[in-house]
Structure formats: C-alpha cells, structure tokens
C-alpha cells in the first residue's frame, strides 16, 4: 500500500480554534503521531479555492490521500475521524 499523505488546510490558531485543536491532536504525546503537511489558507495561493471545490466553508480541512486514487476529507475538528486515521496509519505501517 502506498504511504498516506495527510494535508491540513488551516488558519492561524487565534483565528481558528479547530485548526489548533486538530494540530494538537495530530501530535498528541500519548498517541501515535500523525505526520501531515500544513497548508495555510491565508497565505497559500489557490488553497481557499481548492477547499471550496471540495465543498467546505469551515476550517480546518483535512485531506487524506491514500496514494491509490482514493482520498478522504473532512472539515472541522473531528477527534473520532482523527482516531480512525491514526488506526489506519498504524495498520499501514504494520503491513
């Protein structure tokens, strides 16, 4: 299986508490770290248009690319989905 690529489309934490919470959850010290690329919506050309093209108007937006043409995405701070992603990542690394 190809490696997962996780992208977090975000705003500064002071403007987006959900962004700050999602980043904190990705790096939770008692759980498996989720590597991700942060893409700032306020400074990255085309990022806002891309997120809107996915149908989202709330940040953060998480996009997971499974490397086989399958992607999964969600918006907002979603601890349950982050835990599911962490479990998938663990399974991928154990294969």
Exposure string for 70-88, b = 16+ CB within 10 A, e = fewer? eeebbbebbeebbeebbeb
**CA 60 vs CA 11, 16, 27, 73: distances in Å:** 7, 8, 15, 10
Whether the CB-CB separation of 41 and 10 falls below 8 Å is answered with yes
- Does the pTM surpass 0.85? The reply is yes
Bridge partners, residue 40, by sequence:
10
CATH superfamily, domain at 5-89: Glutaredoxin (3.40.30.10)
pLDDT tens-digit map of 39-73: 999 999 999 999 999 999 999 999 999 888 889 99
């Amino acid at each position: 299986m190809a490696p997962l690529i996780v992208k977090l489309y975000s705003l500064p934490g002071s403007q987006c508490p959900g962004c700050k919470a999602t980043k904190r959850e990705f790096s939770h010290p008692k759980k498996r770290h989720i590597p991700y690329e942060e893409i700032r919506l306020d400074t990255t050309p085309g990022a806002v248009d891309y997120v809107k093209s996915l149908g989202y108007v709330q940040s953060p937006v998480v996009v997971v690319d499974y490397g086989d043409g399958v992607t999964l995405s969600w918006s907002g701070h979603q601890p349950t989905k982050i835990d599911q992603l962490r479990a998938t990542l663990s399974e991928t690394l154990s294969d």
